[in-house]
Amino acid sequence: MKKKIAATLMIIAAAAAAAGCGGNSQTGTGTQSQTASSAQETSSQESSQAASQDEASYTIGIGQYAVHGSLDNCREGFLQGLAEEGIEEGKNLTVLYENANGDGGMGTQIISNFLSQNVDMICAIATPMAQTAYGATKRTDVPVIYTAVTDPVIAQLATEDKMPAGNITGTSDKLPVEEQLQMIRQILPDAKTIGIMYSTSEVNSQSTLEEYKEAAPEYGFEIIESGISTAADIPLAADNLLTQVDCLNNLTDNTVVSSLPIILNKANSKGIPVFGSEIEQVRIGCLASMGLDYVELGKQTGRMAAQVLKGEAKASEMPYEVIEEASFYGNSAVADNLGITLPEDLVSSAAQMFDSIGDSNS
């Protein structure tokens, strides 16, 4: 009997031990399985995040203040600069483009429309549009990148040390005033007066005009100014100004440049040369310019925008940038029409020479 009981107890103990080992084995397997599953899930999440970053797409609203060549070139260059950084329209970039045609009220509507469409960024081309965009985005987290703003400090978009006034930065098309005056003196050694037409509502134009007035005496010139309020004022203002000056000099004033063909026609009829401030003005009929390449200015702006979109920098922490070097542009067809010989040293160093007068609409 004792042997039977002992045998029974041994069988029960063995069964219990077997059950215990089996339980431990199952528990261990379950733990390993959970760890592997967790690792796979983490790996999957990381892969998904990486893919999301690689496939990031953006929407930019481009608001342009007016229709003319230099601002069009800024827009073209801006898209090229983005593409250089891997942000390209039709691939990972959607562009909403609107032009205010020189109408401030329309500019306000354009920026409001962009914000209602939840754009990732606004690109504002020219000072009035940049000021409008900045004012409209102050209570949002939408960054603004501007270009073709002559004096961001005067426009209250930046501080004296070039730092942003808010979530806004970009590039300045500050004119090389000294170089322009040197060029005019070299081409017109006997000239005494330079006429400058400008919009009284454009703070950049007023700022640049003051620079010209301050520097002109050093080169033997007097600046004769004519302020206009709207494009409708330009024909009469041009007629009056042309009776007082030896030549005209353009700024990057949006209203004036938009009406440049009218000014050129009137000046040509009197045999008075008109100097431009950038390449497009020379192409369509100005005699020459020591000016900027606005496509390059746009590219510089596009590269800055890419940094912001990619999260590499914040617009609010990026100082605005300026193209430092000016280049000579001349039009030999205009020179021939006026009976003027362009100095050989200017021609030989020109970034570009035109031998015909282009269409202002091309």
Q: What is the per-residue pLDDT for 54?
A: 52
Q: What is the per-residue pLDDT for 284?
A: 94
CATH 3.40.50.2300 in the chain: give the residue spans: 58-173+295-322, 177-291+326-354
* Burial per residue of 228-246, b for 16 or more beta-carbon CB atoms within 10 angstroms, e otherwise: beebebbeebbeebbeebb
177-291+326-354: CATH topology: Rossmann fold (3.40.50)
Q: What is the per-residue pLDDT for 161?
A: 96
Q: Indicate yes or no: pTM above 0.85.
A: no
Q: Give the number of other CB atoms < 10 A from CB of residue 43.
A: 10
Q: What is the per-residue pLDDT for 254?
A: 87
DSSP secondary structure string for all residues of 265-286: HHHHHTT--EE-SBHHHHHTT-
Question: For the chain, percent helix, then strand, then coil, each to nearest 5?
Answer: 50, 20, 30
Q: What is the per-residue pLDDT for 308?
A: 98
Q: What is the per-residue pLDDT for 360?
A: 58
For domain 58-173+295-322, the question of CATH label 3.40.50.2300 is answered with yes
* C-alpha atoms less than 13 angstroms from C-alpha of 65 in its C-beta half-sphere: 27
Q: What is the per-residue pLDDT for 31?
A: 39
Which residues have CB under 8 Å from 306's CB, separation 6+?
A: 81, 82, 84, 85, 86, 87
Q: What is the per-residue pLDDT for 69?
A: 85
For 108-119, write each residue's pLDDT tens digit.
999 999 999 999
For 221-232, write each residue's pLDDT tens digit.
999 999 999 999
Under-70 pLDDT residues of the chain = 1-55, 360-362
